[in-house]
Amino acid sequence: MIIAIDGPAASGKGTIGKRLAAHYDLRHLDTGLLYRAVAKAVLDSGAKPDDTQAAIAAAKALDPSRFDEAALKSAAVGEAASYVSAIPEVRAALVGFQREFAARAPGAVLDGRDIGTVICPDADVKIFVTAAPEVRAKRRAAEYRAAGKDGDEATVLADIRKRDERDSSRSASPLKQADDAVLLDTTNLDVEGSVAAAVRIVESCLRH
């Protein structure tokens, strides 16, 4: 079984993806980490996030088995990731890895922006997770504070709005709900409520 989860930053898709994978005994891939790793490699090399050639070279050299997830989760890397992920050649370099991950038995949960539309258009279940920007900013700011980082909510909200705009308006695989995806709005749901709603969506998809 392949479950595709897409949605904007801090909508809850990562948490839902992890929990669904555990619930159904599937592997899980947070595809945002791939773009974050490309962005971090570009930044570490001293290049700017919009340096197309540096980003393409980093994407082609990517080794997902050596990711340092904590380092990739910083706000600066997330911001840079939304630039490198708009480059078509960067996206093209990462397609094969994602599709191979999805195809391996017993199946997988992938979360990102274009899983249901581009990476796994034939996924058994597609969920588009969203939440009000203010609620997403509150969650992300709390995450940063829990990790000992600066978590000013107004700054995070401004950041989220900018990234939403960039992720949705780019021409290469923009953030967009697939026609056959089920919408899950987590604005008024906590983690347990969101996971329960996602399980209900999967069960209903499997029945039909």
40 binds ligand DC (CB under 6 A): no
Among positions 2, 4, 41, 82, the unique one binding ligand DC when judged by CB under 6 A: 82
Among positions 19, 36, 136, 139, the unique one binding ligand DC when judged by CB under 6 A: 36
Closest residue by Cα to residue 31 from 92, 112, 86, 91: 112
Which amino acid type is present at position 135?
Answer: V
139 binds ligand DC (CB under 6 A): no
Chain centroid to Cα 127, Å, comes to 13
CB nearer ligand DC, residue 10 or residue 182 = 10
128 binds ligand DC (CB under 6 A): no
17 binds ligand DC (CB under 6 A): no
Q: How many residues bind ligand DC (CB under 6 A)?
A: 14
Minimum distance from residue 207 beta carbon to ligand DC (Å): 28
113 binds ligand DC (CB under 6 A): yes
CB nearer ligand DC, residue 7 or residue 202 = 7
Cis before 88? omega within 30: no
Please give the backbone phi and psi of residue 185, each rounded to the nearest 5 degrees, phi first: -95, 115
Among positions 41, 57, 58, 81, the unique one binding ligand DC when judged by CB under 6 A: 81
CB nearer ligand DC, residue 12 or residue 182 = 12
15 binds ligand DC (CB under 6 A): no
CB nearer ligand DC, residue 25 or residue 100 = 100
Among positions 2, 9, 21, 102, the unique one binding ligand DC when judged by CB under 6 A: 9
Q: With the CA atoms of 65, 70, 72 and 77 taken in that order, what torsion angle do they form, in degrees rounded to the nearest 10?
A: -170
Report the sign of the C-alpha dihedral through residues 9, 64, 108, 143, in that order.
negative
151 binds ligand DC (CB under 6 A): no
Inter-residue long-range contacts of 118-123, CB under 8 Å, 24+ positions, other chains counted: 118/173, 119/4, 119/31, 119/95, 120/2, 120/4, 121/178, 122/2, 123/2, 123/3, 123/4
Minimum distance from residue 181 beta carbon to ligand DC (Å): 14
Please give the backbone phi and psi of residue 111, each rounded to the nearest 5 degrees, phi first: -120, 145
Which amino acid type is present at position 113?
Answer: R
Binding site for ligand DC (CB under 6 A): 9, 31-32, 35-36, 78, 81-82, 85, 112-114, 163, 167
